[in-house]
Amino acid sequence: MKFTKKEVFSIPNILSFVRILLIPVFMAFYLTAEIPLDYYIAAAVILISGLTDMADGLIARKFHMITELGKALDPIADKLTQAAIVFTLIFRFPAMVFLFILLAVKEIFMGVNGLILLKKGKKLDGAMWFGKLSTAVLYVVMFIFIAVPNMPSLVANILMIVTGFFLAMSFILYIPIFSDLHKRSKEETQSEKA
């Protein structure tokens, strides 16, 4: 698939590229942090990333700049950012590894199923409310972890459990949706052959 220069360099797509470029900036600040200000800068980088995420969607819809590249780039930037944040936090909060595994399993499941369905001419019609809620909880909690690196372990564990609950809920609720899409695709294929 070829993309025009106008598509590649549309404002929403540039903002998605910026979000991807902010990932190593965040990681560098967080992993080398020595004083509270370093953590605040890392948190600010994530805040800027979140604001650009909101802005690219708003601009794309309001100014009719929705492109096929943008439809792929936006979720890629989201998933890379989420994975990078959770992975980076493992270095300070080792139990975060369980959230990272859960996030990875969920996203691999969704990615693989999405690609299989795309080849069959089907696709998920945007994120569901529970997916958006799970993402919002993840970002809010991760932002707290970044901005408050010395939080008590009990608070940290509770926040990780809450985040894990919403991730797991989202994962479980997506399973029947993908199952239904696969079933409909199979039925359509069979009716075409009949």
pTM value?
Answer: 0.88
DSSP string, the chain: ----HHHHTSHHHHHHHHHHHHHHHHHHHHHT--SHHHHHHHHHHHHHHHHHHHHHHHHHHHTT---HHHHHHHHHHHHHHHHHHHHHHTTT-TTHHHHHHHHHHHHHHHHHHHHHHHHTT----S--HHHHHHHHHHHHHHHHHHH-TT--HHHHHHHHHHHHHHHHHHHHHHHHHHHHHHHHHHHHHHHHH-
Mention the CATH class of domain 5-184.
mainly alpha
pLDDT of amino acid 187: 85
pLDDT of amino acid 21: 96
pLDDT of amino acid 114: 86
What is the mean pLDDT for each group of 10 consecutive residues in the chain (194 residues)?
A: 74 93 96 94 94 88 84 89 96 95 95 87 81 92 94 96 97 94 86 73
Tokens of 187: 């039925």
pLDDT of amino acid 166: 97
- Domain limits, the chain: 5-184
Query: Hey, what's the torsion of the CAs at 80, 129, 65, 14, to 10 degrees?
Result: -20
